[in-house]
Copies of this chain bind each other. A is one copy, B any other.
Amino acid sequence: MRLVIARCSVDYVGRLSAHLPSAVRLLLVKADGSVSVHADDRAYKPLNWMSPPCTLRVVDDAAGTQTWHVVNKAGEELVVHVEEVLHDSTHDLGVDPGLVKDGVEAHLQELLAGQPGTLGTGWRLVRREYPTAIGPVDLLCRDGAGQVVAVEVKRRGEIDGVEQLARYLELLNRDPALAPVRGVLAAQEIKPQARVLAGVRGIDCHTVDYDALRGLDDGADRLF
């Protein structure tokens, strides 16, 4: 990993065109070949960048300045005009062991599939990822009365999730073997707007306590 602090101007031509006037910035060159140009704000997102795989070619200009040409296979190009170098250091980091995550939608779906009873008394799981023409329904269940229920699982329930579930229900209710099918949006947090739209569409909302669900699970530590 190479860290360069330099006064530079930048041009990108590829999926769009972009230009950065001259200023002092961080140029971050990683071992995977990527180059990113950071200002002192915008959180972790660079002003401009080139993703790997790509190649960096450095051209020394007459005035003692440099121009970096970073290109990828698709013909996209990032050009950095380096006017003044204020810092330049290289560091050997080695291969990173990588990140372990817990609490994403896949885990929530997994836990609900194992504990359909938390959605309602007597609920049973018919299938996870039940296929339809426009995509898979997260969970297909039967409630205590034996009626089919399509469950859309989200970490955060928003308007898109309601629309998505409504489209599934439209299709599923055309199948006489399943109809009538009702819908449930299950999420850790459900936005007010999503609740309103769900009400209009006849969809029930169910908030889920991830930690409690995990506690009901077999108790094995899943992460550490």
Question: Which residues of A come within 8 Å of B, CB atoms?
Answer: 1, 3, 5, 15-21, 23-26, 28, 30-32, 34, 36, 38-49, 51-52, 86-87, 89, 91-104, 134-135, 155, 160, 163, 167, 193, 196-197, 223-224
Contacts and interface: CB of A to CB of B under 8 A. Distances in A.
A224 B19 CA distance: 8
Given A18-B102, A48-B99, 6 more contacts: A1-B38, A18-B100, A23-B94, A34-B41, A36-B43, A41-B52
Given A49-B43, A134-B197, A99 B19 contact: yes
A43 B30 contact: yes
A44 B95 CA distance: 16
Contacts of A31: 40-41
12 contacts: A3-B26, A15-B103, A19-B223, A20-B98, A20-B100, A23-B97, A24-B94, A25-B93, A30-B38, A44-B45, A47-B99, A87-B91
B34 A44 contact: yes
B196 A134 contact: yes
A105 B128 CA distance: 37
Which 6 pairs between the two chains have the least Cβ-Cβ distance?
A: A16-B103, A39-B96, A32-B41, A31-B40, A36-B44, A40-B93
Nearest to A167: B197
A12 to B, nearest CB: 9
